[in-house]
Structure formats: C-alpha cells, structure tokens
C-alpha cells in the first residue's frame, strides 16, 4: 500500500504531523514541496500539505491539488488550497499561535466524530476570508469564519488549526479520518 505524503512547507510542525501519523501506524513519508507531481501520483494515496512561513515558498503544492488524490491542508496548506481554487487569504486580526474554541457546523468526512465545539491550537497570522466556489465551510470561531473548509466531492479538506499538537482536542481523529478517506478513495 502506498503511504500518505506529508509535504514539508518549512513549517515548525511538519515533523509533528509525520510523527502523529506514524504513531497511529499509518504508512507515511515526509517529502519536500519541490517533489515532482508525477512522483507523488505514482507513489502516494493522499497528501497532507503542512504549514509554513509563506505561501511564496510553497513549491509545487498547487500542482498537487490537480492530481485527484485526497488532500488535507493544515494552516498554510489551507491557504494554498483556498488561493489555488479562487478563494482569498489575508492577514488575520488576532495574529500568532494560541488556543481558540472552534464551532463545527458540518461533521463531514474529515471532522466525523467530533462534538459541536472543540478547543484547538491555531495561528491566525493569515486566514481564509473568502472560500472558493464549490467549497463548504465546516467550522468557524469567534475570530475566524473559515476555520475549516472542504470540497468533499474532490476529497480536499483544509484546517486553520494544528491537529498534530497536544493542545488540540483529539487531533489524531483528523488523521484517522483522513487515512480512512484515502483508503476508501483507492477502492
């Protein structure tokens, strides 16, 4: 079985994403964002776009969204998804990392099993202010209307928060859900 690829966008938590999946016994590999898209298509069953300091340093990430594989974007990964599909990202008013309560409005595939409200750890230095056409808002908070979005028909999901850190309520569940989505997509 092919692994899930975690795309390293130079963020401080990309290795934690890799480790979280490995700790769940999910086959995973951490790759640079300069990896050719055809290599990902030939050797992966899903992609996690990790966080990072700047969308300008996101390498081939927007091309990965054209491969037809399930994608989960975390923080900067969400911003890459939104801008690639015509959404808009701008500087957030709340700034850096910290705790936030998120209200889940759609318990779709990626947020299956979560309660209505969860406490997470997120950065709001930048945030999605306009979701792309065809996408659905899954969650919001007092400071950000688009904490999570999805294009379920294409199995593309994005989170503003970091499920890989211990401060996030049951973050492993996001990875378990994404793993299930990638396995079902291969059938």
pLDDT digits (tens), the chain, 187 positions: 899 999 999 888 899 999 999 999 999 999 999 999 999 999 999 999 999 888 999 999 999 999 999 999 999 999 999 999 999 999 888 777 889 999 999 987 999 999 999 999 998 889 999 999 999 999 999 999 999 999 999 999 999 999 999 999 999 999 999 999 999 986 5
Domain CATH code at residue 18: 3.40.50.880
Distance CA 153, CA 132 (A): 14
Residues serving a catalytic function are 75, 162, 164
Distance CA 70, CA 64 (A): 10
104: containing domain: 4-186
Regarding beta strands 88-104 and 148-151, do their DSSP bridges make them parallel or antiparallel, or are they unpaired?
unpaired
Distance CA 176, CA 53 (A): 26
How does DSSP classify residue 132? P
Q: How many domains does the chain have?
A: 1
């Amino acid at each position: 079985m092919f692994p899930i690829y975690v795309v390293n966008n130079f963020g401080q938590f990309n290795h934690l994403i890799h480790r979280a999946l490995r700790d769940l016994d999910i086959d995973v590999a951490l790759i640079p964002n300069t990896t050719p898209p055809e290599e990902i298509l030939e050797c992966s069953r899903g992609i996690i776009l990790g966080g990072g300091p700047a969308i300008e340093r996101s390498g081939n990430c927007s091309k990965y969204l054209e491969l037809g594989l399930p994608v989960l974007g975390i923080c900067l990964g969400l911003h890459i998804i939104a801008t690639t599909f015509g959404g808009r990202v701008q500087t957030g008013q709340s700034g850096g990392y910290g705790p936030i309560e998120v209200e889940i409005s759609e318990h779709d595939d990626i947020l299956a099993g979560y309660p209505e409200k969860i406490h997470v750890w997120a950065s709001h230095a930048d945030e999605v202010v306009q979701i792309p056409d065809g996408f659905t808002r899954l969650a919001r908070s007092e400071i950000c209307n688009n904490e999570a979005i999805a294009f379920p028909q294409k199995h593309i999901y994005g989170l503003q928060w970091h499920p890989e850190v211990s401060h996030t309520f049951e973050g492993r569940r996001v990875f378990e859900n994404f793993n299930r989505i990638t396995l079902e997509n291969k059938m």
